[in-house]
Structure 1
């Protein structure tokens, strides 16, 4: 079967969008192929900085024929109608039509065949549309056609289009035009290491071979492999190790078409800067890798790895020198920031009031920065107050949380006071992603305890599914306080996430709270913490509202808002548990709107998941479903009259219904106490004792008794049985 080769050659496409663009091109093309009844075996996308390529293997040479039926007149219709049908259907006689019968009678039907068109013709129609409607988030127009309506837009100027239909008979150009560009069998090599002459291509293997001869490696993964392999070789030669960075490797592989790996050095004096700052400086500004000493991974070396897009005549010496010059300059700035942040600020009367409010020592640099953060009235949010006000809330909330997780109150309070101080440091202004980490480093340098420093460093964690959890209990308390204050505040001012919009990363914050609580394995009710956070926020929000009378400051105080916040946590918990392989129906069976103990909910879901895999669990689920169906049917039969709630012991005639009633009384007495403790395992074990009496009841007792009072009483027993089970677990929500 034929193949299709498509290449869109342009000026350099930004590295961060190349993969998505190639995927979008493949998706757009394959969707159109299917829509036009063209089958294919495989479709593979490729990309480099200057080209997007799709290789379709095993493409149909012709679209499938489409068979439809055309309904004609009734067999009893007049001659005029039948003759008209014969002419329009291009039949020789009506005998060529078949007769079909339906409820309206007998009528003529013919089969209409729409023959599939050649793949080449279809491709020539769909490809211009795909290119014109390509879903770039941002695009541009260029050259003389740019001022025309409907002119071609592309991320960067499109220079040529290669499009070949390759069969056993040879390759054929799919002829079409987009703007001023006509498709061809030509491509181009490396911008610097190849001639500017076009390269004629016959098929995909020929395309790969000729690109490589002209210093272009088409496959992203191959470029990535070359980068890592050559980098490790260079490091091994210099007796150092590469600090791998998968995201950086991906980005560099999309910046080059012919990766050339080089090694450079910077002055050793810069190694006194924390390695995280060095790594960020080199990574952010020059897209280079850092290295570390072979004997100890914690110590960086003064070598860096860079990747060029050219094989220079001087073996890359000029490229290395240029990169080293920039890195030296950037590290000089970083070293300056690192040292100046450790110095005391000039004396200022404005800091005294803040120092008094937060009990700060103005002879310590980090304390000074916290005083300045507060005195400058740096705003957190116009409706939620300043950063200083937020720090005071986090400290108070942290002290509330500390006893719940056996954290030291004094450590939590001191760490909370200094947690946001690094926002006033030069390093964090240059590298915002080092918030917390730098605060912890400066805390150690000014003599804070390791517990305080570690709590400051870790209080933003976790920031995602894969991020580490704080190790220090005081750090966990501080992290919980920080996140709960933020979530409660934004809920109170109705700045909740909507759809894909979540500018304050509140989903991530809620997941962070959930992961912290589940890691602690402690019962921490959320609603009391939400109410505490609300009480702390109220004065700040009122002051903000008074200060912003002309703005649209909307303050809401309602338990419904906090209940809505709890529901948001429930949804995040569902996502988290589903990610661990728990079915959503089991989670729904345990969740209740008022439940705010995250650890207890998760534990109960795990217990239920295990229980339902046992024989007792399967039988209890079957019993609950059966009772539910009986009660539903009976309600329908009685025209939705309610079944009575009270069981009359005097109307229990059969030994089996008496036994079931007594079992219900025992379980009710036992489960109430266990339910208050949240001990689902014991409750389910007790519930298993109902299996035998319920099965005996179904086997021996006639529910639909002729006496309406006896029948109603037996239905009441079933209703009570169902209520007991659903009060523990809502089995109606479980599939099976």
Structure 2
């Protein structure tokens, strides 16, 4: 069976840069899935893309499906013949196979013998399968918003202009999006606008690069990264390369060329975050820092053309950025003319959620929660309340309305300008920490209190109106809020009871339609998020279940137990003790006895049960202070020493003795053993 390279290229007008990767990967996956479904052997399937094209290259694609033997089963022999003559069932089956009854075979199975038919099916040519595979893959693309062009009723993300389909040197005859396939493609819009033909599918990358198009997404991104770093080095500066911006810029150019421009130093009086947001959001520029980490009045732009007069391109970009930075400076100056405190009343007209009131209502509720938390963690109650009052005020400033990503950051700048305390100003920014997995948590007590209070208010409120997240729908980001609360409590080492916090937060809301059982529901939801937290920490689901089975409501304590059980699970004794605990749990569940009884040493008869009693008693004395200090790992290390006496007990002692008192005493001993482990987790789950 021969094989060759297949190439598909769909040429379009400039695609939305944020959609290119998704569309490109989906197209490659659609082709791969189609080939696999058709049972066509192939090598690596690679996606390529640029603003003006989506392409897929398939290596070592077989020229046909493999031949295969088809076996069909018909009626049973009993139903196929009567008095030695074929029945209508036999004749109908033969006709469906295109043969006579005498050409059918007998198929023997465990359930009897049946009429059957075998034929050799010749595999179809791959070139005859590809048109349908490609059409289906293109039709199934997750296009965010379709459009029509010209007088055609064809729809796609952007107008489509050419379609290349090559199998080796051969053009695969097909049509899609109103286009007929060919070997004709196009290069860079300005450097190589003329159409040209591809001789072979293997020539694609080299030909496109000769036509000023870097169609390999990764190569194009790395070219941009290298150029930006090189420009920064020339300017004796450090370039800040935001990966999301890098991806976006890569989706805007086919032939990247980095150029350095500058702006007036007077703009540096505006907070650097404002200037950076303007450069990134509006112009897609990379910013530069000096040796001290301060913003420099320079930027790097990525042109889509290698100009003979780059100074003109630079000049154009400098002219464009100037009014943008002027806007940022105007917003900053305008906002500072009014203290944040004067904006508190404006929050009364900004709705947080229709059933939960305004941002002013939320600030009032959060203030009570934050004050309580601040008191518990040794913070300043008055500062926590002041921070809560100001927490959302920057949302109604000109700067944040223009650049929403600056919420909190501008609150800190404006609060500092207004003479608010350093702690309050920092808390206004820290309330949004952590923003993502692995992000830092607030460093100040006021920031911790505010960050927790804001999330707890949102969680109880949204659950209280019946808007619990379902499936992939989580419009209020309650999953992120829950994990944020857990991370803050754990990373900051706050030994707070989640239930107590939720009860306080719930009590701040008035007339919640789902108030009954609200705290139980939110608590369960949040503790269930520990599964994801544990996974991020490399802790298995069975360890999570072992700890989740216990009534632990302090996240910091929950995390300590998780880590201790995770370490215990790696010990040699863990499997045996987990199995023993599972056995103990089953015995006690069936008998319903022993858990509330004390062990009577006088009723111990066998050496093995006496040894277990002594070991359990000794362990209890050792681990009690460890449990009190939440040193769960050390406690489990002690309990690991019970493996041998536990094994000996089950090998040598009959729990269900004829003497009822002896039986109950042995059950009490097992309950005592189980109770030691349950102080940490139900390790029976480790089985």
TM-score of the aligned structures, taking structure 2 as reference length: 0.90
Distance 1:470-1:705 versus aligned 2 partners, 3 A rule: closer
Counterpart position of 2:519: 562
Question: Given the alignment of the two structures, is residue 243 of structure 1 paired with residue 240 of structure 2, yes or no?
Answer: yes
Distance 1:576-1:101 versus aligned 2 partners, 3 A rule: closer
**2: distance between equivalents of 1:705 and 1:535?**
54
Flag structure 2 segments of 5+ consecutive residues without an equivalent. Answer: none
Counterpart position of 1:149: none
Distance 1:103-1:712 versus aligned 2 partners, 3 A rule: farther
List aligned pairs for 1:262-411, cutoff 5 A. Answer: 262-293=259-290, 295-298=291-294, 300-313=295-308, 315-344=309-338, 365-370=339-344, 372-374=345-347, 376-411=348-383
> After alignment, is 45-54 or 401-410 more displaced?
401-410
Distance 1:658-1:28 versus aligned 2 partners, 3 A rule: same
Question: Given the alignment of the two structures, is residue 585 of structure 1 paired with residue 542 of structure 2, yes or no?
Answer: yes
**1: distance between equivalents of 2:367 and 2:74?**
82
The alpha-carbon deviation at position 138 of structure 1 amounts to 1.7
Counterpart position of 1:418: 390
The alpha-carbon deviation at position 705 of structure 1 amounts to 5.2
Counterpart position of 2:130: 123
Counterpart position of 2:643: 691
**2: distance between equivalents of 1:494 and 1:74?**
58
Counterpart position of 1:459: 431
For the residue of structure 2 that corresponds to 1:160, the secondary structure is strand
For the residue of structure 2 that corresponds to 1:8, the secondary structure is strand
**2: distance between equivalents of 1:193 and 1:654?**
93
**1: distance between equivalents of 2:218 and 2:103?**
63
Contact 2:530 2:544 in 1 (8 A): no
Contact 2:363 2:389 in 1 (8 A): yes
CA deviations 1:241-267 (Å, max 9, x no partner) are 322222212111110111122222222
For the residue of structure 1 that corresponds to 2:66, the secondary structure is coil
Counterpart position of 2:146: 139
For the residue of structure 1 that corresponds to 2:85, the secondary structure is helix
List aligned pairs for 1:557-706, cutoff 5 A. Answer: 557-558=515-516, 560-592=517-549, 594-628=551-585, 649=600, 652-661=604-613, 678-681=630-633, 683-685=635-637, 687-688=639-640, 690-703=642-655
The alpha-carbon deviation at position 190 of structure 1 amounts to 1.5
Counterpart position of 1:359: none
Counterpart position of 2:175: 177
**1: distance between equivalents of 2:326 and 2:599?**
88
TM-score of the aligned structures, taking structure 1 as reference length: 0.85
**2: distance between equivalents of 1:536 and 1:99?**
75
The alpha-carbon deviation at position 709 of structure 1 amounts to 7.3
Distance 1:229-1:80 versus aligned 2 partners, 3 A rule: same
**1: distance between equivalents of 2:69 and 2:490?**
59
Contact 1:463 1:509 in 2 (8 A): no
**2: distance between equivalents of 1:296 and 1:232?**
17
CA deviations 1:104-144 (Å, max 9, x no partner) are 3x455443332211111111232223223333232123333
* Aligned residue pairs, count: 677
Contact 1:199 1:210 in 2 (8 A): no
CA deviations 1:638-681 (Å, max 9, x no partner) are xxx75676588576443433444565567678877865665534
Which residue of 428, 444, 452 maps to 1:472?
Answer: 444
The alpha-carbon deviation at position 310 of structure 1 amounts to 2.1
Contact 1:100 1:109 in 2 (8 A): no
For the residue of structure 2 that corresponds to 1:537, the secondary structure is coil
**2: distance between equivalents of 1:97 and 1:441?**
87
The alpha-carbon deviation at position 396 of structure 1 amounts to 2.0
**2: distance between equivalents of 1:86 and 1:729?**
66
Distance 1:382-1:254 versus aligned 2 partners, 3 A rule: same
**1: distance between equivalents of 2:357 and 2:77?**
83
List aligned pairs for 1:96-107, cutoff 5 A. Answer: 97=105, 100=108, 102-104=110-112, 106-107=113-114
For the residue of structure 1 that corresponds to 2:328, the secondary structure is helix
Distance 1:177-1:410 versus aligned 2 partners, 3 A rule: same
**1: distance between equivalents of 2:620 and 2:239?**
65
Question: Given the alignment of the two structures, is residue 730 of structure 1 paired with residue 687 of structure 2, yes or no?
Answer: no
For the residue of structure 1 that corresponds to 2:241, the secondary structure is coil
The alpha-carbon deviation at position 496 of structure 1 amounts to 2.1
CA deviations 1:326-380 (Å, max 9, x no partner) are 2111111111111122224xxxxxxxxxxxxxxxxxxxx222223x425x53322
Which residue of 484, 501, 506 maps to 2:456?
Answer: 484
**1: distance between equivalents of 2:656 and 2:240?**
76
Contact 1:132 1:153 in 2 (8 A): no
**2: distance between equivalents of 1:179 and 1:246?**
33
Distance 1:199-1:410 versus aligned 2 partners, 3 A rule: same
For the residue of structure 2 that corresponds to 1:291, the secondary structure is strand
Distance 1:95-1:717 versus aligned 2 partners, 3 A rule: farther
Counterpart position of 1:358: none
Flag structure 1 segments of 5+ consecutive residues without an equivalent. Answer: 147-151, 345-364, 543-553, 636-640
For the residue of structure 2 that corresponds to 1:311, the secondary structure is coil
The alpha-carbon deviation at position 459 of structure 1 amounts to 1.7
**2: distance between equivalents of 1:220 and 1:231?**
17
Distance 1:330-1:99 versus aligned 2 partners, 3 A rule: closer
Contact 1:73 1:81 in 2 (8 A): no
Distance 1:616-1:144 versus aligned 2 partners, 3 A rule: same
Contact 2:568 2:637 in 1 (8 A): no
For the residue of structure 2 that corresponds to 1:468, the secondary structure is coil
Contact 2:5 2:61 in 1 (8 A): yes
After superposition, the CA RMSD in angstroms is: 3.0
**1: distance between equivalents of 2:384 and 2:436?**
23
**1: distance between equivalents of 2:482 and 2:456?**
8
CA deviations 1:376-432 (Å, max 9, x no partner) are 533222222222232222222112111332222233233223222222322112111
